[in-house]
Amino acid sequence: MPQVGVREGEKLHEIMVTEEDSPMTYEYEKHFIIYPHYSWWGKEKVIPGGRKVPEGFEYSSGSNPDWLGIEELPKRLKVFEAE
């Protein structure tokens, strides 16, 4: 029988955007983009529509406000079955 729950050594949360990356990170409607830290990379290459995150910003899966509830999971799986 498959094990359910947290396994030994398994991470519960992961840092997706570090504080060190915040100076080059922009938030868009449904995602973040961490742009390169190269001298040749200019701000003109930043994709429009995003907003710069504050200095020291950090994003972790533990601070994600959108959690999939147990009621929602079967609904989403049915969508995949129908396709």
Which amino acid is residue 66, in one-letter code? D
Strand order in the sheet with 25-27: 32-34, 25-27, 51-52
pLDDT > 60? residue 29: yes
Read off the pTM.
0.65
Taking the C-alpha atoms of residue 20 and residue 7, their distance in angstroms, rounded to an integer, is 30
Structure tokens that stand for 44 in this block: 């003109």
User: Tens digits of per-residue pLDDT, 45-74?
Assistant: 999 999 999 999 999 888 777 777 788 878
